[in-house]
Amino acid sequence: MDLTAVTPTLLAGLVFAVGAIVGLVGTLVLSGTELSLPLVSAFGLVSSAGVVSVLLLWPGVRRVFVAGILVVLVLSPVVVFLRAVHGFVREVTDLYR
Amino acid sequence: MIGLPVPADGWVSLLFGPLQFGFLADPIPWWLPPLTVGCGLLLLGPPQFDGWLRANISAWRLVRPPAFRVACLGVLFVGASLIGWTTLGSARWQYAQYLLLVGRAVEGATVINLFVRVRELLSFLDQLGKGSSNGRATGTSGWRTAYVKVKTYITKRIPRILASAVVIGLSMVLFVILVVFQPEQPLLVRIVFVYTLLTFALSIIGTAWILKRLSAHLDPLSFVGVPLCVAGGELYNVPAAFDLFASRALGGPISGATPAVFSTVGWTVGAISALGLLWWSLRG
């Protein structure tokens, strides 16, 4: 196997696909009968196939997908900051009221 | 008296040389900063995303147990991080510094803990004033209360001091072991290796210690994720491009100081934001 052919995008596609299958099976096993089996199966397969296709085949859509990922990577720490500060400020405000 | 030839760019260059200084800025092992940042992001992202999905999509709440939901999102974040990290390309160090900035901002927000302390101090002084009358009733004096307060203050800080001392001690032992048993390695490599691990450990301990004031407002994974992001940001190498820019603009190799600048700016922004929000909350 040529390891140099394993690009991060391909690796990410594999992670997404494996994650979708594991998540699908795990969800069905852990949630029991509360979820509709055909609906979840269809959703899992379509989403994993769609994500991998987008990653590997369509550069235009891939750019939007990557932009979304970058937005999440940038905003996640800010959300943590805002939540923590808001909670702490509310605690101190209650103390002084 | 014989004068030493001083190079045009000063004594720093004479002592270390620009290449060696740049080498010192590179952490060893090289994979520790990206791994730390990656782990920090994986701990920060999935719980936030899970919370949002839980609040907005009722079907998502049916997936149980909650840890499984977070684990599934974690897998998605691994894939997303791989793509995001690749796309960041040469801007990776900037992203690492951004994480450092946000992490320090969270730390800076804990400055409003000062108001909690002031409240406690006023309450304590009040107790001290009433100490004689209460003391007769309860058998304790104001000075006894003061003694307990001071003792508690010191005792609370012992774990951090102890942890830092253990880390410093272990680093010294590691350095001695490397000097004795790895003589073939260049001395500078051994120094940088020990220094990188020491910075990593002390940064984790220091940040986690400060953040414990916010522990009630951070989920457990974020409580670990923020220190990892901060430590990764501190460790992350500043690329040569910035070093060249800094050297030309300011006349010296200052890239090693960049994380300190981001730390200070982040802390100040966090402190001002928190104080502003507190003022606005009390006013409203």
pLDDT per position as a tens digit, B155-210: 888 888 888 899 999 999 998 888 888 778 777 778 878 888 888 898 889 888 88
- Residue B232, chain A, CB below 8 Å: the answer is no
Question: Which chain B residues contact residue A11 at CB under 8 A?
Answer: 82
Separation between Cα atoms, residue B215 and residue A40, nearest integer Å: 36
pLDDT digits (tens, 9 = 90+) for A8-41: 777 777 777 777 777 777 777 776 656 666 666 6
Q: Look up residue A39 and give its two tokens.
A: 């609906």
Separation between Cα atoms, residue B190 and residue B168, nearest integer Å: 15
d(CA B62, nearest CA chain A) in Å: 7
Contact A89 B102 (CB under 8 A): no
Q: Which residue of A has its CA nearest to B79?
A: A12
Cα dist from B203 to B158, B209, B213, B263, whole Å: 17, 10, 17, 12
- Residue A35, chain B, CB below 8 Å: the answer is yes
Coil, strand or helix: which one is A1?
coil
Structural element, H or E, at residue A90: helix A59-96
Contact B79 A13 (CB under 8 A): yes
Question: Which chain A residues contact residue B44 at CB under 8 A?
Answer: 76-77, 80
**Of the partner residues B44, B84, B226, the one whose CB lies closest to the CB of residue A70:** B84
Separation between Cα atoms, residue A45 and residue B34, nearest integer Å: 32
Interface test with B, best of A75, A80, A91, A93 (most B CBs within 10 A): A80
Q: Length of chain B in residues, anyone?
A: 284
Query: B 60-79 residues with CB below 8 A of A?
Result: 62-65, 68, 72, 75-76, 78-79
Place of tokens 């929000």: B277
d(CA A31, nearest CA chain B) in Å: 6
**Of the partner residues B75, B217, B222, the one whose CB lies closest to the CB of residue A19:** B75
What does pTM read for this prediction?
0.71
Nearest to B78 by CA among A73, A64, A35: A73
CB neighbour class for A64 (10 Å; exposed up to 12, middle 13-18, buried from 19): exposed
Query: B 165-224 residues with CB below 8 A of A?
Result: 213-214, 216-218, 222
Across all residues in chain B, what is the average pLDDT? 75
pLDDT digits (tens, 9 = 90+) for B228-282: 888 888 777 544 444 545 555 554 555 556 667 788 888 899 999 988 988 888 8
The pLDDT value recorded for residue B169 is 92
ipTM score of complex: 0.71
Q: What is the 3-state secondary structure (H, E, C) of chain B?
A: CCCCCCCCCCHHHHHCCHHHHHHHHCCCCCCHHHHHHHHHHHHHHHHHHHHHHHHHCHHHHCCCCHHHHHHHHHHHHHHHHHHHHHHHHHHHHHHHHHHHHHHHHHHHHHHHHHHHHHHHHHHHHHHHHCHHHHHHHHCCCHHHHHHHHHHHHHHHHHHHHHHHHHHHHHHHHHHHHHHHHCCCCCHHHHHHHHHHHHHHHHHHHHHHHHHHHHHHHCCHHHHHHHHHHHHHHHHCCCCHHHHHHHHHHHCCCCHHHHHHHHHHHHHHHHHHHHHHHHHHHHHC
